[in-house]
Amino acid sequence: MFRRKFLQSLGTLGLGLTLPMGAVQAQAVKKATDQKVDLSAVGIKGKVQAGGKGIPGVVVTDGINLVTTDKSGKYSLESNATAQFVYISVPRGFEIPQEKGVARFYQPIPAGKPSFTADFELQKLTQDDTKHNFVVWADPQMINKKDAEELVNVSAPDLKKLVDGYGKNTLFHGIGCGDLVWDKFELFEDYQKAIGISGIPFFQVIGNHDMDLTARTDEGSSDTFKKLFGPTYYSFNRGEVHYVVLDDVFFIGTAKRYIGYLTERQLQWLEQDLSYVKPGSMVVVSVHIPVNSGEKRRMKLKDESLGGVVSNRKELYRLLKPYKAHIMSGHTHICEKVIENDIIEHTHGAVCGAWWTGPICTDGSPSGYGVYEVNGSEMKWYYKSVGHDREHQFRIYPKGTVKDRPEEVVVNVWNWDPEWKVTWFEDGVRKGEMKQEMGLDPLSVELHAGPNLPAKHKFVDPTMTDHLFWAKPSAGAKQIKVEVTDRFGKVYTQAQAV
C-alpha cells in the first residue's frame, strides 16, 4: 500500500504540503518570483546486482516512495522532477559502497530527462555481518585549518588505532552525526581526509553548521551537503540492524536560525521505509539535533529550546514504537542519555570537545565519540575519549575542588545512565553508592567559566549536567576508591588520595 503514497507525495515540498492528484499533470507551478517548480514525471529503472547476479528484495527510493527489486534484481519506480537522487538501502551481507571512506549508495537524478537508468553494483561480504561495530562522531565542527589539523592528526589516528585494535576481520562503519564543519565549507575536504584515515566507511548526517546559510528556505540549505554526501535522509542495513539517517535541522531562512523539526516528507518516507523492517528488530536512527534532552529541566527554562530538541518528536516515537530503537544525536557538545519508554537516545560528546578549546566538552566529558558493539539484535556501547583507552570512563575530583562543597569528593561519569552504579570506598571500606546531583563539572569551570575564558571562543560556558556523583569522606580518610559499573556489568575503578 505504501507505493500509492507516491501519488500523494509527488508535490511534497517544504513542510510536506501534499498537492491534489491533478497537480501531478501540471508541468510547472508559478512562484511569486516567476520561477517554476517542475513537477513532470520521471521514470527510473535499473538493477541491483553483485558479481553479475541480481539481488532480490533490495529497497530502492527516490526519497518520496520506495520499491523493492524483483527476483532478478530489477526495479522501476515512477518519480518526478523534484526528486534529486535514487538510492538503495544497502542490504545486510554486502559491503558498504564507499569512495575514500564516504558511503556512496546513491546516484543523482539528471535534471530535465523524462527517464533515467540507475544500476547499483554491490560486493558480497566474505564474512557474516551479524556481529559488527560502529562509531558515532558528533560535531567535528572545524572553523579553521588549525582545528582541521587536530582532527586529521589526532582524532582520526585515535579512531584508526581503536579500529585496528579489534582486529582486521572486525566489521566497522562510522556515522558523522552532523556539524562536520563550522560553516566553512572548504574544510569539508579535511573532514573527508580524516574519515579516510580511519579506514572505515562513514555515513553523514547534516548539521546546522553544514547548511548553506544564504538559502532562502530549508529546501536550498542542504545543496552543498548533497553535492558532497548525497541525500540527507536514507537507510541501510548491517546484520540484523536497520540504520536510518534523518535531517532534523530545519533552516528558517535567516543566517544561523533553525529549529529541530522533521518534515512531513521525511516522516512519510520513514513510515514506508520501516514497513520493510520486521517489528521487534533493532532500529538505529541518527540525527543531529537531539530528539529530546534534559536541558529544560536542568536550566529551569519555561519552554524547550526550539533549536535544541525536535518539536514533533512524538510522531517519530510512534513510528519507532514497534522496534528496539536507539537514537544517535550530537549538537549539544555534552554526553546525555534520554530514555523514552523503550527508546534510548544517545547524545554524544563532541569530537571537538568545547569547539577545540581543550580536552573536554562543556559538561566535563572528554572530547571523544561513541563506540557500539552489535551482536545480532543486542548492542553494547561505551564512550571513547580521544587520547585515552576505553577504561577512561570517569574522573575523580578530590575533596576541596568544589569551593562551595569543600568537604566532598565529586566524580563525573560521562556516559552514565540509570542502569549504572557508582560506589565508593574509604580506606578499603565500602561506603555505598555515591549521591547523584546535578551540577557543573569542576574542570569545565576552571577552563570555561568567566568572560575571558576560554581565550579561543569566549562564548563557551560550563554546562549543567546530571552525571555528577558526590560523597563526603571522613575527616581522617587517606584514600578513596570509586567503582563504576556500567549497564553491561563492566567495572571501572580508580583510587585517589583524599
Question: pLDDT digits over 415-439, tens only?
Answer: 999 999 999 999 999 999 999 999 9
Query: What does pLDDT average to over the chain?
Result: 93
- State how far the Cα of 360 lies from the Cα of 341, in Å rounded to an integer: 31
- The pLDDT value recorded for residue 15 is 36
Query: According to the model, what pLDDT value does residue 200 have?
Result: 98
Task: Assess whether pLDDT exceeds 80 at residue 20.
Answer: no
Q: In what order do the strands lie in the sheet with 421-426?
A: 429-433, 421-426, 479-485, 491-497
Dist. CA 292–CA 260, nearest whole Å: 10
pTM here is: 0.92
**Is residue 244 predicted with pLDDT exceeding 60?**
yes
User: How confident is residue 152, by pLDDT bands cut at 50, 70 and 90?
Assistant: very high
The model's confidence at residue 464, banded by pLDDT at 50, 70 and 90, is: very high
Let me know: does 2 contact 272? Beta carbons within 8 Å: yes
CA distance 380 to 240: 15
- pLDDT exceeds cutoff 50 at 23: no
Chain segment 305-348, per-residue pLDDT in tens = 999 999 999 999 999 999 999 999 999 999 999 999 999 999 99
- Supply the pLDDT for residue 254: 85
What fold, for 395-497?
Immunoglobulin-like (2.60.40)
Q: Beta 41-50 vs 115-117: how paired, if at all? A: parallel
pLDDT bracket for residue 55 (50, 70, 90) = very high
* pLDDT of 121 above 70: yes
Single-letter amino acid code for the residue at 156: A
Of the candidates 258, 271, 185, which has an alpha carbon nearest to the alpha carbon of residue 218?
258
Which tens digits make up the pLDDT trace of 445-454?
A: 999 999 999 9
Q: What is the 3-state secondary structure (H, E, C) of 432-478?
A: EECEECCECCHHHHHHHCCCCCCCCCCCCCCCCECCEEEECCCCCCC
Cis bond upstream, residue 454 (ω within 30): yes
Query: pLDDT value at position 35?
Result: 63
User: In the chain, what are the domain boundaries?
Assistant: 2-86, 131-385, 395-497
Check whether 91 has a pLDDT greater than 60: yes
Whether the per-residue pLDDT at 5 is higher than 50: the answer is no
Q: Bridge-partner residues for 77, per DSSP?
A: 44
**pLDDT tens, residue by residue, 386-400:** 999 999 999 999 999
Give the pLDDT confidence of 277-307 residue by residue, as tens digits.
999 999 999 999 999 999 999 999 999 999 9
- Taking alpha carbons only, the member of 337, 308, 343 closest to residue 465 is 337
Average the pLDDT over 465-470 and give the result: 98
pLDDT at position 180 over 60: yes
Q: What's the average model confidence in pLDDT over 360-365?
A: 98
- 262-271: burial string, b at 16+ Cβ within 10 Å, e else: bbbbbbbbbe
Provide mean pLDDT across the span 105-134.
Answer: 97
DSSP calls for 184-217 = -GGGHHHHHHHHHHHTS-EEE---GGGS-TT-SS
The average pLDDT across 126-146 equals: 98
The residue-averaged pLDDT of 27-43 equals: 66
Domain at 131-385: CATH code: 3.60.21.10
Q: Which among 248, 245, 292 has a CA at the least distance from the CA of 270?
A: 245
Stretch 466-477: mean pLDDT, rounded?
96
Task: Quote the cell numbers at residue 120.
Answer: 547499483
- Beta bridge partners of residue 412, listed in sequence order: 395, 468
Q: What is the mean pLDDT of residues 145-170?
A: 97
Using DSSP, state whether 159 is helix, strand or coil. Answer: helix
Measured between alpha carbons, how far is 153 from 331 in angstroms, rounded to an integer? 23
Q: What is the mean pLDDT of residues 224-248?
A: 98
| pLDDT at position 36 | 75
